[in-house]
Amino acid sequence: MTIPDLETLRALGPAQQPAYDDPAAVDSAVARLRTMPPLVFAGECDDLKDKIAAVSRGEAFMLMGGDCAETFAGVTADNVRNKLRVLLQMAVVLTYAASVPVVKVGRIAGQYAKPRSSDFETRAGETLPAYRGDAVNGFEFTAESRVPDPQRLVDVYHSSAATLNLVRAFVTGGYADLRQVHTWNTDFVRESPIGQRYELVAAEIERALTFMQAIGADPDEFHRVDFHTCHEGLLLDYEHAMTRIDSRTQTPYDVSAHFVWIGERTRQLDGAHVELFRHIRNPIGVKLGPSTSPDDAIALAERLNPDNEPGRLTFITRFGAGKIRDGLPVVVEKVTASGVEVAWVCDPMHGNTFEASSGYKTRRFDDVIDEVQGFFDVHRSLGTWPGGVHVELTGDDVTECVGGGEDLLEMDLGNRYESVCDPRLNRVQSLELAFLVAEMLRARSD
Ligand code: PEP
Ligand code: CO
């Protein structure tokens, strides 16, 4: 497989690309990126593909999570550590409940570009170009900041590299030690009234760990974890510049992340995103919204994974709590009947967004949980495997989604609303979600 030229992709008129006013500056940013070393190795992408193949066989569960939109200013040690910590805590709970490995994939170290439903944003009578993520323009609502700046593509690389460096240090350097992560979970259970509801599961995990130590399980096995990165592969200039021929296999990989996905708004079968993605060898995902027909899904699978390679393709469904039970069954049923190999992952966030009366974009915790429950119900009735969840979250105590055990109200949203794009589950809501999904996983095997 070769890499299609960037010109060929541009000629396909890709959706959701920035309207740069200086094409020469874009070309020079792309040229600079082409000289930069890979952020991930092709062999690591293959490892993740093998793990996702286990997900599609029902032998593993996938946890994908992180910000809707990372920001350059958010590349701090605290921020990265808190996000990683909550993901690791969730993974331990899910691993115990699922009794299968949990494949951990952070929406991190590259999630800087956003598709938008409108090209413009109006505030107090003033209309400016929409914010498209730090990869494109500034969040600040001024004409100057909203101009797309190609230099930001190079900044994405550096911010991703700095983040990934810290993530790699954390996951291999002892921070992710299973006993340590379990201690954070028991702290959550002990210290908060919400956590107390999950005391039983935490106590069972404690006993399991003690048992493993008693029988002499290798402590090194507890000490490090596998962790991979993902983001939406939205900006073709960036993703193309980061696509390289792997020296081992002579095939193309997008070395900006282990896993990249095509969003709901850019998954046109004859579009530029599908064209680039069908050439790369990474494990990839496609977001599927409620308008997806079974034929759309099968056609995407045939185009993106013609050899039906296990682990290559993940469908991330985001139907919304109100639509999943009616809409998802026919898609899963027909895709399965067609023999297509795919891992099914539930994004319970993007179909459940609404605007609160205060103007903040938010989501109800109960809707998020209900969509995951609907996802489990649908897969249970079809005899297929609910392969994982894909959530927008942060390790901080933000107030962006309403509900949950802390019962955040719409009037609380302004207290600490920090997302520059979609509302994220905060630390406590994320842990609650993990314990609730754990209950769903256990109910499944009862
Ligand atoms: C996202 O994941 O932030 C996103 C924009 O999702 P979708 O493509 O499903 O709308
Ligand atoms: Co989002």
> For ligand 1, is residue 115 a contact (CB within 6 Å)?
yes
Q: How far is the CA of 81 from the centre of ligand 2 (A)?
A: 21
Q: Which residue has its alpha carbon closest to ligand 1 atom 6?
A: 263
Instruction: Read off the pLDDT of residues 306-340 as tens digits, 9 standing for 90 and up.
Output: 999 999 999 999 999 999 999 999 999 999 999 99
> Does ligand 1 come within 6 angstroms of the Cβ of 132?
no
Residue 445 has pLDDT above 80, yes or no: no
**Region 299-309: what's the mean pLDDT?**
98
Query: What single-letter DSSP state applies at residue 242?
Result: T
Q: What is the mean pLDDT of residues 11-15?
A: 97
Q: Which residues have C-beta within 8 Å of that of residue 182, sequence separation ≥ 6?
A: 92, 202, 205, 206, 209
Residues 417-431: pLDDT tens digits? 999 999 999 999 999
CA of 419 to the centre of ligand 1 (A): 14
Task: Tell me the whole-structure pTM to 2 decimals.
Answer: 0.98
* CATH-assigned architecture of domain 6-176+224-445: Alpha-Beta Barrel (3.20)
Q: State whether the beta carbon of 287 lies less than 6 angstroms from ligand 1.
A: yes
Q: Is the CB of 348 under 6 A from ligand 1?
A: no
pLDDT band of 400, cuts 50, 70, 90: very high
- Report the residue among 16, 64, 68 best suited for mutation to probe ligand 1: largest number of ligand atoms under 8 A from its CB: 68
Is the distance from CB of 133 to CB of 96 less than 8 angstroms?
no
Any idea what DSSP says for residue 228?
A: E
- What SS3 string covers 86-129? HHHHHHHHHHHHHCCCEEEEEECCCCCCCCCCCCEEEECCEEEE
State residue 417's pLDDT score.
Answer: 98
pLDDT in the model for residue 219: 79
Q: How is the chain split into domains, by residue range?
A: 6-176+224-445
Query: In this structure, which ligand is nearest to the CA of 230?
Result: 1
Question: Does the beta carbon of 85 sit less than 6 angstroms from any atom of ligand 1?
Answer: no
Residue 234 has pLDDT above 90, yes or no: yes
Q: Pick the ligand that lies closest to the CA of residue 287.
A: 1
- Please state the rounded mean pLDDT for residues 28-43: 98
Q: So what's the pLDDT on residue 218?
A: 84
Q: Whose CA is nearest to atom 8 of ligand 1?
A: 263
pLDDT of residue 320: 98
